[in-house]
Structure 1
Amino acid sequence: MCESTVYSTDNDMIMEDVLSIKIDGENIELIDILGARKDLKGVIVEIDLDKHGIYIKLNE
């Protein structure tokens, strides 16, 4: 499988084993392999396909 781990730009892990990311403006919805959801506000700034890492700058 091709799960990814999502991190903040501060390198804090937000969610592991993410399979789906839905983006609507600044709203980001993450869904993992078990169907758990997490909603965030921010901007994706980097996607590292080699290391399966996604980095989000969170809105404060």
Structure 2
Amino acid sequence: MCESNAYQSDGTLIMEDVLNIKIDGKKIELVDILNQKKNLTGTISEIDLDKHSIFIKLE
């Protein structure tokens, strides 16, 4: 599968197995494989497709 893990910019894990990301300005919604949602305020600073990692700078 193509899930990714979401981390804070310092490497702290936010959510595992993310399948969907919705962005509306500074609002970020993450949805995992179990359809659990997490809403954050911040910006995506890096997406590493090789390592299946998303890095988010939280505000």
TM-score range, shorter chain: over 0.9
Corresponding residue for 2:38?
A: 38
Corresponding residue for 2:54?
A: 54
Q: What amino acid does structure 2 have at the position aligned with 1:52?
A: H
Corresponding residue for 1:11?
A: 11
Secondary structure of 1:54 counterpart? strand
List structure 1 runs of 4+ shifted beyond 3 angstroms: none
Gaps of 5+ in 1: none
- Size of the aligned set, in residue pairs, is 59
Secondary structure of 1:22 counterpart? strand
Q: What amino acid does structure 2 have at the position aligned with 1:56?
A: I
Taking only the aligned residue pairs, the percentage that are identical comes to: 64
**CA distances 1:10-57 after superposition (whole Å, capped 9, x unpaired):** 110000000000000000000000000000000000000000000000
Counterpart CA distance in 2 for 1:19 and 1:25 is 20
Secondary structure of 1:14 counterpart? strand
Counterpart CA distance in 1 for 2:34 and 2:12 is 21
